[in-house]
Chain A
Amino acid sequence: MFSRVLIANRGEIAVRIQQTLQAMGIATVAVYADPDISAPHVAMANAAYPLHGDSAKDTYLNVGELLEVARESGAEAVHPGYGFLSESPAFARACAAAGLVFIGPTPDSMEALGDKVRSKEIAALAGVPTVPSSAVLDGVGADAQGFVEQWGFPLLVKAAAGGGGRGMRLVDGPDQLAQALESASREAQAAFGDGRVFLERYLQHPRHIEFQILADGRGHVIHLLERECSIQRRHQKLIEETPSPAMSPDLRRRMGEAAVALAKAAGYVNAGTAEFLLDPDTEEFYFLEVNARLQVEHPVTEAILGMDIVAWQARIAAGEALDIAQEDVRSLGHAIECRIYAEDPYSGFLPSTGRLLRWRPPTGPGLRLDSGVDEGYDVSSHYDALLAKLVAWGPDREASLKRMEGALRRFPVLGLVTNVPFLRRVVTHSGFTTGAYNTAFLDDNPDLLQAPQITEKDEVARSLGAWATANRTSTAARSPSLAPVDDGSPWRQAGPRRLP
Chain B
Amino acid sequence: MSQRRIQPHYPTPGPAFSYEVSEENGQVLVHLDSGTVALDVAQGDGSAGWCRPAGGLLLPFAYAWVGNDLHLWLDGDLFIFQPAEQRSRRRVDASAAGGNIASPVPGKISKVLVQVGDTVEADQAVIILESMKMEHLLKANGAGTVVRVLVEEGQQVDRSGLLVEMSMGS
Q: Is A424 an interface residue (CB 8 A)?
A: yes
**With A and B bound together, what is the CA distance between A187 and B135 in angstroms?**
7
Chain A 458-483 interface 0/1 with B at a Cβ cutoff of 8 Å (1 = within): 11111111111110110000000000
Asked if A381 lies at the interface with its beta carbon under 8 angstroms from chain B, I say: yes
On whether the beta carbons of A469 and B70 are closer than 8 Å, the reply is: yes
Give, as a whole number of angstroms, the nearest-CB distance from A492 to chain B: 16
Contacting pair A183 B79 (CB below 8 A): no
Q: Which one of A191, A409, A410, A464 has the greatest number of beta carbons of chain B within 10 Å?
A: A464
Cα-based distance from A411 to B37 in the complex (angstroms): 26
CB-CB under 8 A from B135, the residues of chain A are 183, 186-187
Which of B62, B74, B136 contacts A457 (CB under 8 A)? B74
B105 is contacted by which of A187, A352, A412 (Cβ under 8 Å)? A352
Interface-central residue, A187, A414, A458, by most chain B CB under 10 Å: A414
**CA of A347 to CA of B131, assembled, Å:** 15
Q: Which of A219-227, A281-289, A353-361 contacts B (4 or more CB under 8 A)?
A: A353-361
Is A333 among interface residues, defined by CB-CB distance under 8 A? no
The bracket for how many chain B residues form the interface is 35 or more
- B21 surroundings in chain A (CB, below 8 A): 466-467, 470
Assess whether A421 is in contact with B76, with CB atoms less than 8 Å apart.
Answer: yes
Q: Is B4 an interface residue (CB 8 A)?
A: yes
Q: At the interface with chain A, which of B8-16, B87-95, B116-124, B142-150?
A: B8-16
List residues of B (62-98) whose CB comes within 8 Å of A's CBs. Answer: 62-66, 70-81, 83
* CB of A121 closer than 8 Å to a CB of B: no
- Interface size range on A against B: 35 or more
* Distance in angstroms between the alpha carbons of A465 and B19 in the assembled complex: 10
Question: Is the C-beta of B112 less than 8 angstroms from some C-beta in chain A?
Answer: no
Alpha-carbon separation in the docked complex, A155 to B127 (Å) = 24
- Answer whether residue B41 sits at the interface, using C-beta atoms and an 8 A cutoff: yes
Contact B77 A460 (CB under 8 A): no
Residues of A within 8 A of B28 (CB): 463, 467
> Does A410 lie within 8 Å of B104, measured CB to CB?
no
A346 to chain B, nearest CB (A): 6
12 contacting pairs across A/B (C-beta < 8 A): A346-B10, A382-B132, A383-B132, A412-B48, A416-B66, A463-B28, A463-B53, A464-B39, A465-B72, A465-B81, A467-B28, A468-B63
Interface set of A (CB-CB < 8 Å, partner B): 56, 166, 183, 186-187, 190-191, 234, 342-343, 346-348, 350-354, 357-358, 360, 380-385, 408-418, 420-421, 424, 451-454, 456-470, 472-473
